[in-house]
Amino acid sequence: MAESVYKVIELVGSSTESWEKAAAAAVEKAGQSLRDLRVAEIAELDMQIKDGKVETYRAKVKVSFKYEAGS
C-alpha cells in the first residue's frame, strides 16, 4: 500500500440554530473547494451571547484532506 499524507486545516462554522449546524456549515463550505475530505474533528464549541441570550453557535472544526503537491 502506498503511503499517504493528509493536511489538516482549522475552520470555524457558525449557526443561529445549533453547534451541529455550525460544524456542518464549516465542512460543507470546505467541501466546495477542497477535494477528498477525510475526517472532521470538533476542536472547540462556543457561543456568542447578546443581551443574555445565545445569538450564534460556533464550532471550531479540524478538517483533513489528502495532500497533493501544490496544495
User: Phi/psi class of residue 52: alpha, beta or left (left: φ > 0; alpha: ψ in -120 to 50)?
Assistant: left
Mean pLDDT for the stretch of residues 47-67: 96
Give me the pLDDT at residue 9, please: 95
Count up the domains in the chain and report the number.
Answer: 1
The domain of 28 spans 6-66
Give me the pLDDT at residue 12, please: 97
Question: For residues 5 and 67, is the Cβ–Cβ distance under 8 A?
Answer: yes
Domain with 30 in it: what CATH number?
Answer: 3.30.1660.10
Classify residue 1: in a domain, yes or no. no
Give me the pLDDT at residue 67, please: 83
User: What is the CA angle 15-18-24, rounded to 5?
Assistant: 65
Neighbours of 12 (CB within 10 A): 15
Classify residue 14: in a domain, yes or no. yes
pLDDT at 63 over 70: yes
